[in-house]
Amino acid sequence: MIPTPEQQAHLKHFLDRVAKAGLPLVSYADRSRLEERHLAPSLAGLDLLPETGRILDIGSGGGFPAIPLAILTPHLSWTLVESNQRKAAFLTRVSRETALEKGLIVLNQRVEELTRDKDSLYDAITARAVTDLPQLAAWTRSLLAKDGFLLFWKGRDWRHESWPEAVGLKLITELKLTDGSVLLKLEVER
């Protein structure tokens, strides 16, 4: 997918805001290499997203991968969950500045506090650099729609955390990313 000029401008604005933020959204060293270390790995998930539906991003932090993906997928509905109040405020502000306010909401709370009912299930759940695989599986299982899937950005040694089958997940895809990390597409074993 080739971004429109407007989407390109929104991506640039987002990266500028992250680089100049007065709070630690990424490491100081990464501020000068956001495209390589954060944007490119985030966009690796673009072709794995569903064509329609609701996406939940947990531990949204500085907005990677959710904000870049949301900019490029205006047809999807995004919910970002971030427990840190200052980071949640940043995400809310940057979502307004990049014209995402209609298709994206930011919740300043912990993922464990989300309501779990049939009307609040998600078609995909994303997470990048949040916690280990067993904890992610525990948090997300009850929030995922029947045919939904998980997209987790993990370090190259992610298997030291747990094998997917050991926590009730099935590995569908493992993509090696340019920054040395991997992107996992998983389903819940039912």
- The confidence score (pLDDT) of residue 118 equals 66
- The confidence score (pLDDT) of residue 23 equals 85
> Residue holding tokens 């991003």?
57
CA dist 68 and 7 (Å) reads 9
129 neighbors 177 (Cβ within 8 angstroms)? no
Instruction: Give the three-class secondary structure for 137.
Output: helix
**CATH code of the domain in which 139 resides:** 3.40.50.150
Strand partners, 81: 58, 107
Structural domains of the chain, count: 1
Q: What is the pLDDT along the chain (190 residues), one digit of tens a residue?
A: 789 999 999 999 999 999 988 888 887 778 888 889 899 999 999 999 999 999 999 999 999 999 999 999 999 999 999 999 999 999 999 999 999 888 999 999 999 988 777 678 999 999 998 999 999 999 999 999 999 999 999 999 999 999 999 999 999 999 999 889 999 999 999 7
Amino acid at site 119: D
Q: Which domain holds residue 131?
A: 5-188
- In the chain, count of helices (H) and strands (E)? 6, 7
> Among 121, 167, 173, which Cα is nearest to 151's?
173
CA dist 82 and 86 (Å) reads 9
Strand partners, 56: 79, 125
Non-local CB neighbours of 163 within 8 Å, separated by 6+ positions: none
Could you tell me the pTM of the whole model? 0.94
